[in-house]
Amino acid sequence: MAEETAEKTSALDRLQQRLDERYDWTNKWRRYQRWFPALFFVCGFLVDAINLSRGVKLLDLIMVSGYAVIAMVALVGREKTERENWNRWLTNAFQFAIGAMFSAMVVLYFKSAGGWLSTLFVLALFGAQVANEFLHKDERQRRLVWAIYAVSVIMLLNFLIPHIVKSVSTWWFYLSTLLGIGVVAGLRKIVGESWDNLKAAGVTVGVLLLLFIGGFIPPVPLVLENQLQCTNFTKSEYSCDVDDPSILQMIGLGSDTVTTDGPVYVLAAVSAPLDVEVELQHVWYHDTDDGWKEYDTMNFNMRGGRKEGWRFWSRKRNAKPGTWRVETRLKDGAVVGYTTFDVVEGEREKVRREL
């Protein structure tokens, strides 16, 4: 048995020697090795982003919870093991899992958010996580790791618990946040981490709470899946005519337009946990010389569970030319999302779209 093991080891050594002679394999591996954790993080992000962008289901959230457990196990193992090879692969596993969790936060938590503060918050977290891989292994890196993991766990629970209890009450947000803090505190005790290295995590969670209280974060787990601003709406097919977008509009550098001499319609699809009932509103605003002026408010009773989101629509019969904003929000509550567009008189080529 020992001879067979020695032969296998020798064969692997010979293979590595040939690769080194021909391709300089070992030196190339060492040169690019430091990029692998960041690559695993981005791969985890993309895998979950593609999957969760198709819709929000309880099974998806359970899958992301699995990523949270993998990240927890890898983090504990990385702190406890003294073997360099194990440490390297546990680090890669941790980065893949935390990348998947982070993508869930971006795709689900901020999909409907229109506030610039919430967008900056996400970008800052993403940049911090990628930068984390290129810092020296010192206290700064540990603080970033704990901050990213803490906020990812809390945001996941913000979605998972309302889906389980089938309620979108604000109290579930605060309860799930408290539970997430407890999970992170318990993990800190297991690995023997210093409270000083959790300061960044505390600040990040505090910012999250302030954004939620200030209305910059949509009322999770409601997600604005899709919306259209258009003309010639047909209710039986939930379809309408949309201005044929220009190249600048398709890449997001041009504002959306509705070219019409008649009524303007806004269609929306909002997803929610199965059997959850909430009251929603469409609130129409027009940009005037004195700022945004509220014009109309339409109320809707919504029942969750439809995969593509529960659909509803509102109409402005005589929309003045200029810039309009239509908010989708809880009745007299937080904004789920909004759309902004310019109403233009005249004619323009249209395309038929279905929500």
pLDDT digits (tens, 9 = 90+) for 136-177: 456 666 777 788 788 888 888 888 888 888 777 788 889 999
pLDDT at 323: 94
Q: What separation in angstroms does the CA of 171 have from each of 107, 178, 213?
A: 23, 11, 12
pLDDT band at 232 (very low <50, low <70, confident <90, very high): very high
pLDDT of amino acid 213? 79
What pLDDT does 31 receive?
61
As given in the structure block, the two tokens for residue 199 are 């300061």
Separation of alpha carbons 323 and 140, rounded Å: 45
**How many other CB atoms sit within 10 Å of the CB of residue 236?**
5
- Is the CB of residue 143 less than 8 Å from the CB of residue 199? yes
The arrangement of secondary structure in 223-354, i.e. its CATH architecture, is Sandwich (2.60)
pLDDT at 139: 64
Any alpha helices (H) in the chain, and if so which ranges? Answer: 2-23, 25-32, 36-52, 58-80, 84-104, 116-132, 139-165, 170-191, 199-213, 247-250
pLDDT at position 229 is 94
- Give the per-residue pLDDT at 248: 77
Q: Tokens 């929309």 appear where?
A: 319
Measuring CA to CA, which residue among 252, 227, 208, 224 is closest to residue 117? 208
| pLDDT per position as a tens digit, 177-193 | 999 999 988 888 888 87
Going from N- to C-terminal start, the domains of the chain cover: 15-213, 223-354
Q: How confident is the model at residue 241 (pLDDT cuts 50, 70, 90)?
A: very high
pLDDT tens per residue across span 26-46:
565 556 555 665 666 666 566
pLDDT tops 90 at residue 314: yes
The pLDDT assigned to 30 comes to 59
Structure confidence at residue 219 as a pLDDT band (50, 70, 90): confident
Average pLDDT, the chain: 77
pTM: 0.65
Handedness of CA 69, 272, 274, 230 (dihedral sign): negative
Give tens-digit pLDDT for 76-128.
Answer: 877 776 666 676 777 778 777 877 777 676 666 655 454 555 566 666 666 66
Report which secondary-structure segment, H or E, holds 340: strand 335-344
- At 305, is the pLDDT very low, low, confident or very high (cuts 50, 70, 90)? low
CA dist 158 and 63 (Å) reads: 15
pLDDT exceeds cutoff 70 at 312: yes
Higher pLDDT, 285 or 249: 285
Q: For position 53, what pLDDT does the model report?
A: 54
Share of the chain above pLDDT 70, in %: 68
Q: Please enumerate in sequence order all residues whose Cβ is within 8 A of that of 256, keeping only pairs 6 or more positions apart, or say none.
A: 229, 243, 245, 249, 339, 340, 341, 342
Answer whether 245's CB lies under 8 Å from 255's CB: no
* Residue 15: per-residue pLDDT: 63
With 50 as the cut, is the pLDDT of residue 8 above it?
A: no
Is 50 exceeded by the pLDDT of residue 7?
A: no
Look at residue 286 in the predicted model and tell me its pLDDT. 94
- Report the pLDDT value the prediction gives residue 233, as an integer from 0 to 100: 94
Peptide bond into 221 cis (omega under 30): yes
Is the confidence at residue 307, as pLDDT, over 70? Answer: no
pLDDT at 290 over 80: yes
